[in-house]
Amino acid sequence: MENQVKTLMAELKEEQVLALVKKQIDDGVDVNEILAACQEGMISVGKKFETGKYYISDLMMAGEIFKQISELIAPFMTTENRSSAGKIVVGTVKDDIHDIGKDLVVGMLKSANFEVTDLGVDVPAERFVEAVKETGATVVSLSALMTVAFDSIKATISAFEEAGLRGKIKIMIGGGPVDETVCKYTGADNWGADAQAAVTIAKGWLS
């Protein structure tokens, strides 16, 4: 029987889905089942966005609902029953302090079971390198909403090369002004127009 959490999540019924999750937890439903249903709902949200039925604001709302559900079930999750789709380091590059797009990417990646290290905004190249060394992440997502930050993206990728890590990781970039031309200029492996694209790219690399 399909868990109703999936449907309510897909329809962005915030109050109803949170109430249902609380009830299922009280009723002893396996938190892994609840999380899986929520993730399936997020996949549906992503598909609706890709087909134009949902907008960025809907993705943001879905991310917020998922965050609340994650907080509800977190106390009942153990290290053993947490599965990971892979490790990803995310951050807005140096000279750019925008976080809305970056936060949306973080939320969508977490909902897809990725272990995300969020470095925040205005992150220097060296910090990205340190984070990869610390976490063992194999994917890096660089965000930029300002054209002046393109050189920071390029510098960050160069820092990975200098550290001898470039061949061990995949780098994707995103942000309002980012496109294929910027991807080639900076030396990134791929670029995404939105948060859902980041999930798709990451799954392609880490599956």
> Tens digits of per-residue pLDDT, 74-106?
888 765 555 789 999 999 999 999 888 898 899
pLDDT of residue 80: 54
Q: d(Cα 80, Cα 98) in Å, to the nearest integer?
A: 36
Verify that 37 and 95 share a domain, yes or no: no
Among 52-56, 86-90, 137-141, 169-173, name the one with the lowest average pLDDT: 52-56
Do 114 and 54 lie in one domain? The reply is no
Helix (H, G, I), strand (E, B) or coil at 149: helix
Same domain, 94 and 196: yes
DSSP secondary structure string for all residues of the chain: ---HHHHHHHTT-HHHHHHHHHHHHHTT--HHHHHHHHHHHHHHHHHHHHTTSS-HHHHHHHHHHHHHHHHHHGGG--STT---S-EEEEEEBTT----HHHHHHHHHHHHTT-EEEE--SSB-HHHHHHHHHHH--SEEEEE-SSGGGHHHHHHHHHHHHHTT-GGG-EEEEESTT--HHHHHHHT-SEEESSHHHHHHHHHHHH-
Q: How many independent structural domains does the chain possess?
A: 2
Same domain, 58 and 128: no
- Based on the fold, state whether residues 28 and 70 are members of the same structural domain: yes
Range of the domain at 14: 4-76
Q: Provide mean pLDDT across the span 105-124.
A: 92
Whether residue 71 is found in the same domain as residue 93:
no
Is residue 81 one of the residues assigned to a domain?
no
Q: Are residues 112 and 183 in the same domain?
A: yes
Q: End of a domain among 76, 102, 119?
A: 76
pLDDT band at 130 (very low <50, low <70, confident <90, very high): very high
Domain edge (last residue) among 23, 41, 76: 76
pLDDT at 26 over 80: yes
Q: Tell whether 22 is covered by a domain.
A: yes
Q: 145 lies in a domain?
A: yes
Position 83 scores a pLDDT of: 72
- Does residue 2 register a pLDDT over 80? no
pTM attached to this predicted model: 0.76
Is residue 169 domain-shared with residue 115, that is, in the same domain?
A: yes
Q: Is residue 195 part of a domain?
A: yes
CATH number of the domain at 62, please: 1.10.1240.10
Q: Which of 51, 76, 101 is the last residue of a domain?
A: 76
CATH code: domain of residue 200 = 3.40.50.280
Question: Within this chain, do residues 96 and 192 fall inside the same structural domain, yes or no?
Answer: yes
